[in-house]
């Protein structure tokens, strides 16, 4: 795996911040909000708290020695103090290892080393108020030979080598910190987190969007809808309606399969696909769920996992097309199908 996680925040719905804690994030700040895009285009974004607090905290699959974070950022204004942290890399104890700060001038500063006493700062302002900008930061962790590079809109604005960046990161978060009567708020979208464990997507991704693909028809219903005669019109709800679902009894039926909506027409390449299925089991019974993607006659399976009795989001990342063992093409994505299988 290299891409660990992607989010465009559209799954939760305005007012649905609590759903972010249903298996996706470890923590969200008091006042973190799902909000409309401030630029006026369609879509939802993640809005930082009005008071200084963490916006989100995502736990990685383990301690990683190479971690990149990409997202788009919109700041309502530049901060009045130098304490706003756009990206925080932390260890398993949630102790900060490195951080990327936004300064009052619009410059970016990377802090690292014991007590974060060492820093590298861009030569001038690189972040503007009231504009979407793509920020991507990649850190190699090592106490002697650590390195960092930060790019804004694909242009390198900060680099450092032979740094003490610690031994690794296991969590990603931020801390937007307005002061006094300051009205600084930060919007985020197109969040992607990746590592260096694989041979694909282990370095700079470039300016990417995270697009949502919804079920559009039932290929193989097999499961029983709680209402109506089809499954796709239940599964395409964003935000979800937990009173409507498809269910698989015991013994488990054959897998459910659905077609998905197409990519936006201007997409020319695809880094990865991620399934995001919200599911629960009956309390006290065994229940395993496996989510897969079907490309032609080939299938790529996600984890076969025991699920909980509370509705939870289950995520799997698929970086290559199983039909070709190569990166996905837009045409292959437009033809892909989603499979949901109760295995126990």
Q: What is the pLDDT of residue 179?
A: 66
Q: What is the pLDDT of residue 334?
A: 98
pTM of the model: 0.96
Per-domain residue ranges of the chain:
3-195, 215-342
Question: In sequence order, what are the beta bridge partners of 147?
Answer: 140
Q: At the topology level of CATH, where does 215-342 sit?
A: Jelly Rolls (2.60.120)
For 251, half-sphere exposure in the C-beta direction (CA atoms, 13 angstrom radius) is 1
CA distance 230 to 233: 7
My answer on whether omega of the bond before 251 falls inside 30° of 0, hence cis, is: yes
**Residue carrying the six token digits 């949901």:** 340
CA distance 122 to 152: 11
**Could you tell me the mean pLDDT of each successive run of 10 residues in the chain, 344 residues long?**
95 97 97 96 95 94 98 96 96 98 98 98 97 98 98 98 98 86 88 96 96 98 97 96 96 97 96 98 91 98 97 98 98 98 98
**Cα angle vertex 9, ends 272, 270, to 5°?**
15
**Cα angle vertex 23, ends 20, 28, to 5°?**
35
CA distance 304 to 20: 22
Concatenate the DSSP letters of all residues of 127-158 into one string. --BSS-EEEEEEEE--TTTEEEEEEETTEEEE
Q: What is the pLDDT of residue 52?
A: 85
Q: SS3 of 303, please?
A: strand
Q: What is the pLDDT of residue 187?
A: 97
Q: What is the pLDDT of residue 181?
A: 63
Question: In sequence order, what are the beta bridge partners of 119?
Answer: 111
**Residue carrying the six token digits 């951080």:** 99
CA distance 337 to 334: 9
CA distance 179 to 77: 12
CA distance 61 to 193: 11
Asked whether this chain's domains 3-195 and 215-342 adopt the same fold, the reply is yes
Choose which CATH entry (3.40.630.10, 2.60.120.200, 3.40.1360.10, 1.10.3720.10) describes domain 3-195: 2.60.120.200
CA distance 332 to 187: 32
The contacts of residue 90 (CB under 8 Å, 6+ apart) are 96, 97, 169, 170, 171, 172, 173
């Amino acid at each position: 795996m290299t891409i660990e996680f992607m989010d465009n925040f559209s799954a939760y719905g305005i007012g649905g911040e609590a759903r972010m804690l249903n298996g996706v994030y470890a923590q969200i700040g008091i006042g973190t909000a799902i909000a409309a895009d401030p630029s006026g285009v369609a879509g939802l974004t993640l809005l930082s708290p009005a008071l200084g607090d963490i916006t989100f905290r995502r736990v990685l699959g383990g301690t990683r020695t190479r971690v990149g974070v990409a997202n788009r950022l919109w700041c309502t204004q530049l901060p009045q103090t130098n304490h706003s942290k756009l990206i925080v890399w932390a260890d398993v104890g949630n102790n900060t290892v490195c951080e990327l700060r936004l300064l009052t001038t619009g410059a970016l500063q990377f802090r690292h080393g014991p007590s974060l006493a060492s820093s590298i700062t861009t030569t001038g302002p690189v972040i503007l108020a009231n504009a979407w900008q793509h920020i991507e930061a990649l850190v190699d962790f090592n106490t002697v030979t650590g390195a960092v590079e930060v790019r804004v809109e694909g242009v390198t604005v900060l680099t450092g080598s032979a740094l003490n960046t610690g031994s690794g990161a296991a969590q990603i978060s931020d801390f937007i910190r307005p002061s006094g009567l300051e009205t600084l708020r930060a919007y985020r979208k197109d969040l992607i987190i990746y590592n260096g464990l694989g041979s694909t997507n282990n370095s700079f991704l470039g300016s990417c969007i995270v697009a949502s693909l919804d079920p559009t028809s039932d290929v193989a219903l097999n499961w029983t809808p709680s209402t109506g005669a089809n499954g796709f019109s239940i599964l395409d709800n964003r935000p979800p309606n937990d009173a409507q679902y498809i269910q698989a009894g015991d013994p488990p039926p054959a897998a459910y399969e659905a077609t998905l909506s197409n990519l936006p027409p201007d997409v020319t390449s695809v880094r990865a696909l991620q399934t995001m299925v919200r599911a629960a089991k009956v309390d006290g019974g065994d229940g395993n769920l496996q989510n897969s993607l079907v490309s032609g006659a080939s299938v790529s399976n996600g984890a076969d996992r025991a699920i909980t009795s509370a509705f939870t989001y289950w995520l799997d990342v698929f970086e290559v097309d199983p039909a070709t063992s190569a990166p996905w093409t837009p045409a292959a994505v437009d033809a892909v199908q989603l499979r949901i299988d109760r295995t126990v």
